[in-house]
Amino acid sequence: MILLSQSAAQFFNDNIALLAPIIIIQLILVVTALVSLAKTQYTNGPKWLWVLIILFFNILGPIAYFIFGRDD
Amino acid sequence: MQWLTVFNRESLEAWRNFKWIWVPLVFILLGLMDPLTTYYMPQILDAVGGLPEGAIIDIPSPPAVDVLMMSIGQFNMLGVAIIVLISMGTIAGERKSGVAELILVKPIRYSTYVTAKWMNYSLICVTAVSAGMLSSWYYVSLLFEEIPFGHVLTAAAFYSLWIIFIVTVNIMMNTLVKVPGVVAFLTIAFLIALQIIGQIFQYAANWIPSLITSYIGEVLTTGNIPEELWWTSLVTVGLIITLLVIASYTLKNKEVV
């Protein structure tokens, strides 16, 4: 297990230049979704649940929030 | 001008909803995914395991154009779903909530209302798809082989037509029914039907809009624009205009269910 995570870290370090854009874009998505969530008054379902969804579901969480989250 | 006022209202709303930010970003991610997963496929297979010790994984690196076409296939599946979902309520939702009546009570032509919305969503979606194609092209050129930029630009221009067509179908369905979910369902059903018909009658009716995607492969490889693609584009533009006219007409005359 340790070996696997080490090699994963190694792999990540070797390919950081290629993977960085994906991570940055994901971060921007999460941040915009959270900003939008903070600004809206009405959401479909409880707000804290959306915070969890946005934070813990990669890519799909923010998209789901943007499409289904707001109730306007 | 009146049209600009309605259009500005639409694009202001799109900015406030962050659509101008997140839709392009999602398409860029979609575009990046396929070149990367294809490039790292041997490592992924290695890490997932399940292969006997000493098995040699020898996957030939696919041609660059094929990888770019994979991204386009991704746009055709998930991308289209996103396009349909973001625009499903644009007219239908406004009629349901009564906002449409508030706007249309003023002396605004129905066609203005329809085309302003259409223009807004076309701009967002074309920008997003072009950004996605550019990012995919960049990664393909980095990880596989160089594809001439001119070919990608031409392909993106023709592909945009197909995207605008999807937006138009969606706007048309928006004027037919009031429930956003039904609008999305009808649009996707229509597009799938069109794709099936396109596949069956590929040779008899080579002008069906859904075939644009298959002609693009040739544009990317050779850089030439096949004659069928010109005809298909012409038909697509014609259909877009017809659908917009139908949309304005139904919005004006039909008491919608």
Angle at B11 between CA B247 and CA B255, to 5 degrees: 25
Task: Tell me what the mean pLDDT of segment B99-120 comes to.
Answer: 88
Instruction: Select from B21, B29, B135 the Cβ nearest to the Cβ of A32.
Output: B21
- How would residue B173 be classed by pLDDT, with cut points 50, 70 and 90? very high
Predicted ipTM? Answer: 0.86
Task: Enumerate residue ranges in chain A where pLDDT < 50.
Answer: 1-2
- How would residue B78 be classed by pLDDT, with cut points 50, 70 and 90? very high
User: How many whole angstroms separate alpha carbon B134 and alpha carbon B145?
Assistant: 15
| Range picked from A18-27, B233-242, B248-257 for highest mean pLDDT | B233-242
Mean pLDDT of chain B: 90
Specify the pLDDT at position B257.
52
What SS3 state is found at A43? strand
Instruction: Select from B22, B28, B143 the Cβ nearest to the Cβ of A32.
Output: B22
Specify the pLDDT at position A1.
41
Instruction: Sort out which chain A residues have CB atoms less than 8 A from B47's CB and list them.
Output: 4, 8
Instruction: Select from A15, A19, A29 the Cβ nearest to the Cβ of B25.
Output: A29
Specify the pLDDT at position A19.
87
Task: Tell me what the mean pLDDT of segment B96-116 comes to.
Answer: 86
Looking at chain A, list the stretches that DSSP marks H as alpha helix, in order from N- to C-terminal side: 2-14, 16-39, 47-56, 60-64
Task: Tell me what the mean pLDDT of segment B27-39 comes to.
Answer: 93
Nearest to B125 by CA among B168, B186, B179: B168
Task: Tell me what the mean pLDDT of segment B153-159 comes to.
Answer: 95
What is the DSSP secondary structure assignment for residue A69, as one 8-state letter?
I
Q: pTM for this one?
A: 0.90
User: How many whole angstroms separate alpha carbon B230 and alpha carbon B207?
Assistant: 9
Beta carbons of B29 and A11 less than 8 Å apart: no
Q: What is the DSSP code string of B170-223?
A: HHHHHHH-S-HHHHHHHHHHHHHHHHHHHHHTTTT-TT-GGGHHHHHHHHHHH-
User: Measured between CA atoms, how close is A33 to chain B, in angstroms?
Assistant: 8
Specify the pLDDT at position A2.
47
Task: Tell me what the mean pLDDT of segment B151-159 comes to.
Answer: 95
Specify the pLDDT at position B152.
94
Beta carbons of B18 and A32 less than 8 Å apart: yes
